[in-house]
Amino acid sequence: MFTRKKSNKQSKVKKTATDLLFKCRCGGKPSKPKEVTGCKDRWIIRCQIEQCYAYNIGQGLADTIQGWNRLSTHFYR
């Protein structure tokens, strides 16, 4: 039997939260998460294509990104 050696090397490239955003279902790029003014820990992500109205608003940055990634891959919202 073959066994795989686990590598102890860590990736030198750090991923940020915005690197993990999926493209919109129309193929456009998502905007960087922006804080909603007047709210605490509330974020919005929009598609950058002018005619596409896809957006996601959520409480907490990680939840907003997860919601965008889930919804951006579906045709209907």
> Which tokens in the block code for residue 53?
């109205």
- Per residue of the chain (77 residues), what is the pLDDT tens digit? 566 655 555 555 566 655 689 999 888 999 999 999 999 999 999 999 999 888 999 999 999 999 999 887 776 54
**Single-letter residue type at 70:** R
Rounded distance, CA 12 to CA 69, Å? 25
Cross-strand bridge partners of residue 42: 59
Using CA atoms, how far apart are residues 16 and 6, in angstroms rounded to an integer?
25
Token pair 């493209």: residue = 23
- Report helix, strand or coil for 34: strand
pTM, rounded to two decimals: 0.70
Structure tokens at 20: 């993990």
